[in-house]
Every structure is written in C-alpha cells, then in structure tokens.
C-alpha cells in the first residue's frame, strides 16, 4: 500500500487535532491505515425498525432501532452524577433514554410530543427497556436517509470516545476517510494468486467491510481480509520453521547422568504419571536429535508440569549445560525456587534465583554464579532477560505459564546465546496446535492429559452477592476445620485505582464480618511493595493467616495444600481460563476443596455461560475450548488478552481454522518455490510477510 495511508488521521475531514488525540489515546488509531483497519465488529440491519414491545431480553440483540414518541423528560442528580432522562413510548410499550454526558446538547434537540428514530444498546431493568446514550434522530429525516444495503457497521469504541464522537460521528469519519483513500489502495496479492484462492481485490474488500453492498459481498470481504492476516502470519511461521529445520545446531544432551539419576531414583517423592513420562521422553528425543527444540507443553493446572521441567533441566546439567526457568510473577518464581531447591537437596546441583526484587547479595550471587558456571539452574522472573544476565553456557530454557508473558519478553530469550538453547514453554491454557503456532510461532506440542492419582475433584458453585451471609457461614465452618481460604478480587490492570478500591473495600468488609480475633486475614495485591507481598504470602503459606484477600496476582502457580476454599469475587469479570487457573489454587491437598464464584445478579449471556461452565466441569481442556469459542464470538479484547504474537484485526484462528489451513498450505507452497520471496510476482507477499514479521514472534532459531 502507498504511503498516503500513513498520513495522520487528523487530516480526514471531521477529525482534527482534538479527536485525533482522542482516537490515538482510546483506540491506538494514529494513521489513516490504522483507521481503515478498524473494522466494524458487527453489523446491524438499519432497515429493521422494532416496536418497543418486541424488544426484550430474549431478543438478545446488541443493538436495536425503534421509533417512538417522546412523552416527557426529567433530570436527576447533580454534578458528575447528573443524568438526563427522556421517556418515550409507542402503542406497544414505553422506554427510558438516559444521558450522563452531553446533556445540554441533547436536551436542545429533544422535543416532547415528537417522534424519533432511536438506535442503541438495549438494557433492561425489571423488564423495562432503557438505553444509555442512544443515537436519536428526527423520524422524517431518518426515513429519508438512504442506506445502500441496510447493513451498517458498528465500530468498537470506548466510553470517552462515544461521548465525543458517537456511533454516527464515527461512521461519518469512516465515510470521509474512504473518499480520500479509495483510489490509493494497492493489492499485495497478484491477480493469479487471488484467482487461485478465490479472493476479491483488496479495495473491494475494504469497501465492503465498511460499507457492505450486500451480505454476500460482506462475507467475501471478511474472507479476503482474514486470509491476508493469516497468510502474513503463516509466511513468517513457515519461513522460521524451514530455517530451523535447515540448521542442525541444537545442543546435544546424550548423557543421562548423576544429577538426573540421583534425583529420579532417590528424591522424586512420587512415581511419574504415564503422561509425565511420555513428555520427558519427547523432550529427551528432541535433545539428542541435533535440532533445536521449540516445544510447547500443555497440561492442566496441577497436572505436574514443574517436575517435568526440572527433569529436563537436570538433563541439561548432566551434559554440562546451564538451564533457566522463567516465571511470570515474583511470587511464582520464589515458589519454584523453594520447591526446586528442596527437591534437589543432596543432589549437588547449584540453584539460584534472580528477580526484579532481588537484593544486592542475591543478585550478585546469581549473576556471578551463572557467569562463572557454578550455578547450574537459574530461576526467576523476566529479570532473567536483562542484558546483565550472562550465562556461561545456557542450554535449556523453561518458560512457565506462557500466556502471562509479554510477547517481546519471550522473543528476547534466545539472544542470550550464540547457539540457541532448547526451549520448553509451559502453559495450563491448552489450545489446538494450529492455533498455538499462530499464537506463539513455530512450535511442537506436548500434552500432559492425566492428573496425578487421588485428586478429589473441586466442587464449584455460583452464588449471587445476595447469598453472602451463607458464604460467610461456610467460610467460618472451613476455618474451624483448620482450613485456609483465598478471597480473590478482579484486577484488570494493576494500575487501575478502581480495582484497588474494590479490593480494599472487600478487605474491610471481610475484616468487619470476621470480627473475631481468631480469624487472621492477610492481604496481597499488585500495589504493595514486593517485600510486603512476600510477607503476606509467607503468613498464609505458614498457616499464620486463615484468609488471604488478594487480587489476581496469585493467579498462577501458588501452592498452599491446606487452602481448600477459593472465593472469587465479581467472578463475571474474569475470563474463563483465569477462573480455572484460580480454582487450581485449591484442591492440592487431601481435603475436599471448593470454589465459590460470587457475582452480581445482572450477567451478560457470555458471563453466565462462563460461570455455568465452571460449575459443570473441572476439565481445563474443555474449558479452554469453550473459552476460545466464547471469546471469538464476543470479546473484542480477546486477542489482546491471549497474548497473541500478532495483531490480528479480523481473523480469529480458533473460528477460522479452515482459512488458517489454506493459508498454511499457500505459505508452504509459495516459500517452497521462492524461499526469500525475491521474485517480482511475490513482492506483495514479501510486504505482507513484513507486516506480521515482528521480532515479536517467538523465533528462537533466527540466529545468524
Ligand atoms: P502445574 O502443572 O499446575 O504446574 P505442579 O507442577 O505445580 O502443577 O504440580 C501440582 C502438584 O502435584 C504439586 O504439589 C506436585 O508435587 C504434585 N505432583 C506432580 N506430579 C505428581 C505425580 N506424578 N504424583 C503425585 N503428585 C504429583
Ligand atoms: Mg505450574
């Protein structure tokens, strides 16, 4: 595409400096190209006009349009809480329209007694229809408007942005943008290529994605744009794979020596499960093959991934190499360090830890030890990828709980060596292999599909906030039995003041409702100093606290076998895999364990499905599958949260499996005939590849 598209969005009529600033801050839209790639996330049929009586919760529509007459207006509240209501009705019912912002502006435009066309997101309170910040248009004007196919795109926006721009404002900007750019769009795919795969020209695709001429053309547009994204990704993955397979530069671990054998025969506190044995064998095969291993290990929470990682690291040690293990949080790194140090007692393998919170002595010990080779296993957080960390001969890298890592952090691991170490990535969020590759790059996949024996399934229940007293009764009972309890509050971003408030309020209410001195409560959240967090965790671990009130910082890996109850507050605000991870914190000892999901009464359909699924199954694989389906359908932030290596705007590797497979084949074929994409007819493909070739992809093999 030409550079024209890289112009700032502020030059589009209707935008200007102020809105451009807002678009950048709220949606990350800076250039015209960005805006053009801000595709509608759904379409509504603007030819359909509902009657109020037809609009109910069971209609399950995200947006609806209806015509009604204004019967009255009203104001309530003051200052920032001020709201403006417009009451409307037709012969079938009545509804309330509500504004919190732009009240003056809307007030001037509303006339009691007149009829309007009203468009917005319906919500229901006791069965009554209401709409916050709907789009309201004089009926005569609305009916005279011409819409090409009746399908109008709905763009994702934020609260701030919709206050300043609105659905219609946004739509107008897209129209103006299209007028500017429509003749400046180059197609990266040649006619021949397009014909072969049945793709419409890019220009047609972009036009129809924003302004569908027909449902059929919209489908073709979506197909084309998804195809481009997945092809761009596949070109990178397949190129990486062939580079990796062409170089036999993987470290060799032929020996099974003292460290492995002593640990396995004398220290391992339990027999390995069949699945664990199989995975150790797979890793062993990889590390004698001559190729560099790049393996994803999937295994449900509690399936015993840590010991597999440890055995693999001992293989490296037995062959004269160092190994490191990177965990996503301080707490988890410390816990791994404690577990592994304990398990290796008497084995004679030096283990060190390095995290952002390491004090001078610990840090020096770790840094010197790995540089002079005396430390064989280094455990830590992303502090491990700092420049100062220089291994004497790193041969094996374990990355635990992959999904929590930023993409860039992953990619930097391999620069630690001249020759790439073997990489084992572990995750409790299982995903299909094709999807794993799209998310994380070129990987082989191992699965632990068997839990250690004698685990009692965790019992999960969902309660509304109104049942809180019963919850407290149950908590008391468990504490009296000597058990410990987690209470977790949501935390979307660690910096969000609101979440912090939720937590402190929750903490206070728990202290209030548990006034007896024998209930000891510890608290742990992201805003605390690392040493205070540590202290709280220590108290809980050592049984000096009965209840740990925490944010989702404890999500991964924490191991306190005496904790039998996991209470998740505002459970509707968590994703499914997060809920499952949290639940995995209990059920680690011999006692029956419980997971209690607390939520408000008002639940979206997806939230309800998530909570129901949690109550129905403990199977992480099933939940992961459902999670991907739900997210694909609803959550527009899905890709962001999944930590995908690529910024996909429209393709969803879970739902678009078929396109994924076609593009994979197309990439293999194309690269087979032209590995560097150097031929003139492949110039566009080379560019497409570059769009998705960030150093961000987990490419551990591209060391020259
Ligand atoms: P995860 O896969 O979630 O990281 P862990 O490695 O933390 O799971 O293991 C969970 C618990 O199960 C630990 O307490 C561990 O010691 C125990 N465990 C692991 N493997 C086995 C096994 N084969 N038999 C019995 N217990 C095991
Ligand atoms: Mg783990």
- Structural domains of the chain sorted by starting position, each given as residue range(s) with its CATH number in brackets: 48-146 (2.40.50.140), 258-287+302-427 (3.40.50.300), 459-617 (3.40.50.300)
For residues 13 and 22, give the distance between their C-alpha atoms in angstroms, rounded to a whole number. 15
Q: Is the pLDDT of residue 404 over 70?
A: no
Residue among 263, 202, 149 at smallest CA distance from 691: 202
For residues 131 and 120, give the distance between their C-alpha atoms in angstroms, rounded to a whole number. 6
With a 6 A CB cut-off, is 297 part of the ligand 1 pocket?
no
Percentage with pLDDT > 90 across the chain: 49
Q: How confident is the model at residue 428 (pLDDT cuts 50, 70, 90)?
A: confident
Quote the tokens at residue 621: 């694989």
For residue 412, the model assigns a pLDDT of: 54
Q: Is the pLDDT of residue 703 over 50?
A: no
> CB count, 10 Å around CB of 141?
10
Q: How confident is the model at residue 155 (pLDDT cuts 50, 70, 90)?
A: confident
For residue 349, the model assigns a pLDDT of: 97
Return mean pLDDT, the chain.
85
Q: Is the pLDDT of residue 114 over 70?
A: yes
Q: How far is the CA of 674 from the centre of ligand 2 (A)?
A: 42
For residue 206, the model assigns a pLDDT of: 97
Query: pLDDT digits over 274-301, tens only?
Result: 999 999 999 999 999 999 898 989 888 8
Query: pLDDT digits over 556-579, tens only?
Result: 556 788 999 999 998 998 888 889
C-alpha pair distances (Å), 640 with each of 46, 556, 598, 647, 653: 30, 19, 26, 8, 14
With a 6 A CB cut-off, is 395 part of the ligand 1 pocket?
no
For residues 311 and 237, give the distance between their C-alpha atoms in angstroms, rounded to a whole number. 29
Quote the tokens at residue 36: 């053009």
**Better pLDDT: 385 or 376:** 376
SS3 466: helix
Quote the tokens at residue 212: 């569908």
Query: pLDDT digits over 636-672, tens only?
Result: 333 334 445 567 888 887 778 789 889 999 999 999 9
SS3 518: coil
**Any alpha helices (H) in 518-601, and if so which ranges?**
530-541, 576-583
Quote the tokens at residue 622: 């099933």
SS3 535: helix
Asked if 523 contacts 507 with a C-beta cutoff of 8 angstroms, the reply is yes
For residues 404 and 25, give the distance between their C-alpha atoms in angstroms, rounded to a whole number. 24
For residue 655, the model assigns a pLDDT of: 75
- Quickly list DSSP for 597-615: EEE-S---HHHHHHHHHHH
For residues 82 and 498, give the distance between their C-alpha atoms in angstroms, rounded to a whole number. 20
> What is the residue with the minimal CA distance to atom 23 of ligand 1?
272
Q: Which atom of ligand 1 lies nearest, measured to the CA of 305?
A: 2
Strand ranges, E, within 407-537: 422-427, 444-448, 459-464, 484-489, 521-524
Q: How far is the CA of 578 from the centre of ligand 2 (A)?
A: 14
With a 6 A CB cut-off, is 273 part of the ligand 1 pocket?
yes
Mean pLDDT of 672-678: 93
Q: Is the pLDDT of residue 13 over 50?
A: yes
Asked if 56 contacts 124 with a C-beta cutoff of 8 angstroms, the reply is yes
For residue 624, the model assigns a pLDDT of: 78
Q: Is the pLDDT of residue 416 over 60?
A: no
Q: Is the pLDDT of residue 696 over 60?
A: no
> What is the residue with the minimal CA distance to atom 9 of ligand 1?
304
Q: b/e per residue, 642-669, with b = 16+ CB within 10 A? A: bbbbbebebbbbbebeebbebbbebbee
For residue 555, the model assigns a pLDDT of: 53
Query: pLDDT digits over 184-236, tens only?
Result: 999 999 999 999 999 999 999 999 999 999 889 999 999 999 999 999 999 98
Q: Which atom of ligand 1 lies nearest, measured to the CA of 584?
A: 3
Most confident stretch, 304-318, 329-343, 596-610, 618-632: 304-318
């Amino acid at each position: 595409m030409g550079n024209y598209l890289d112009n700032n969005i502020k030059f589009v009529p209707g935008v200007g400096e102020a809105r451009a600033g807002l678009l950048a801050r709220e949606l990350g839209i800076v250039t015209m190209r960005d805006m053009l790639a801000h595709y509608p996330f759904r379409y509504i049929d603007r030819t359909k006009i509902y009657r109020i009586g037809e609009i109910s919760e069971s209609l399950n529509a995200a947006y609806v349009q209806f015509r009604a007459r204004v019967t009255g207006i009203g104001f309530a509240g003051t200052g920032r809480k001020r709201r403006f209501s417009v009451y409307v009705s037709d012969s079938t019912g009545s509804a309330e329209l509500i504004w919190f912002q732009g009240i003056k502006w809307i007030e001037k435009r509303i006339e009691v007694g007149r009829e309007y066309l009203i468009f917005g997101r319906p919500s229901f309170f006791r069965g009554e229809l209401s709409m916050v910040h709907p789009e309201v248009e004089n009926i005569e004007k609305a009916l005279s408007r011409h819409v090409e196919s009746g399908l109008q795109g709905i763009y994702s926006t934020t609260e701030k942005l919709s206050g300043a721009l609105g659905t219609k404002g946004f739509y107008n900007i897209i129209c103006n943008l299209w007028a500017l750019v429509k003749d400046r769009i180059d197609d990266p795919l040649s006619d021949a290529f397009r014909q072969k795969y049945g793709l419409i020209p890019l220009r047609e695709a972009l036009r129809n994605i924003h302004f569908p001429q027909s449902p059929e053309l919209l489908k073709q547009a979506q197909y084309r744009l998804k195809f481009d994204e997945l092809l761009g990704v596949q070109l990178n993955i397949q190129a990486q794979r062939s580079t990796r397979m062409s170089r036999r530069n993987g470290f060799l671990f032929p020996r099974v020596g003292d460290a492995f054998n002593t640990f396995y025969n004398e220290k391992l506190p339990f027999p390995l499960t069949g699945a664990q044995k199989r995975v150790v064998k797979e890793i062993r095969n990889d590390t004698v093959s001559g190729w560099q291993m790049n393996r994803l290990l999937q295994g449900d929470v509690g399936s015993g991934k840590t010991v597999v990682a440890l055995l693999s690291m001992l293989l490296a040690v037995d062959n004269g190499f160092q190994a490191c293990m990177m965990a996503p949080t301080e707490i988890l790194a410390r816990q791994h360090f404690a577990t592994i140090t304990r398990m290796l007692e008497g084995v004679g393998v030096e283990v060190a830890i390095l995290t952002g919170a390491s004090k001078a002595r610990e840090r020096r010990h770790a840094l010197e030890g790995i540089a002079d080779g005396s430390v064989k296993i280094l455990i830590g957080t992303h502090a491990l990828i700092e420049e100062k960390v220089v291994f004497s001969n790193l041969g094996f890298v374990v990355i635990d709980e992959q999904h929590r890592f930023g993409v860039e952090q992953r990619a930097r691991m391999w620069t630690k060596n001249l020759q790439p170490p073997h990489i084992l990535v572990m995750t409790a969020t299982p995903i299909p292999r094709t999807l794993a590759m799209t998310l994380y790059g070129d990987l082989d996949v191992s699965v632990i599909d068997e839990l250690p024996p004698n685990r009692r399934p965790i019992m999960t229940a969902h309660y509304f906030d109104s049942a809180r007293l019963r919850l407290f009764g149950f908590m008391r009972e468990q504490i009296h039995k000597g058990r410990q309890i987690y209470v977790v509050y949501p935390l979307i971003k660690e910096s969000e003041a609101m979440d912090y408030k939720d937590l402190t309020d929750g903490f206070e209410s728990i202290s209030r409702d548990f006034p007896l001195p024998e209930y000891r409560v510890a608290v742990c959240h992201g805003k605390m100093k690392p040493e205070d967090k540590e202290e709280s965790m220590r108290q809980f671990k050592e049984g000096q606290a009965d209840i740990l009130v925490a944010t989702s910082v404890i999500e991964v890996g924490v191991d306190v076998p005496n904790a039998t109850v996991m209470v998740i507050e505002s459970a509707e605000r968590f994703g499914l895999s997060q809920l499952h991870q949290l639940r995995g914190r209990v059920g680690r000892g011999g006692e029956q364990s419980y997971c209690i999901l607390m939520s408000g009464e008002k639940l979206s359909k997806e939230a309800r499905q998530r909570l129901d699924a949690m109550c129905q199954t403990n199977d992480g694989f099933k939940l992961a599958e459902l999670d991907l389906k739900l997210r694909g359908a609803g959550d527009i932030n899905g890709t962001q949260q999944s930590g995908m290596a690529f910024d996909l705007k429209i393709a969803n590797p879970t739902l678009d499996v078929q396109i994924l497979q076609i593009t994979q084949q197309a990439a293999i074929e194309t690269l087979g005939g032209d590995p560097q994409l150097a031929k003139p007819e492949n110039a566009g493909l080379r560019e497409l590849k570059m769009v998705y070739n960030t150093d961000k992809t987990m490419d551990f093999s591209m060391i020259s």
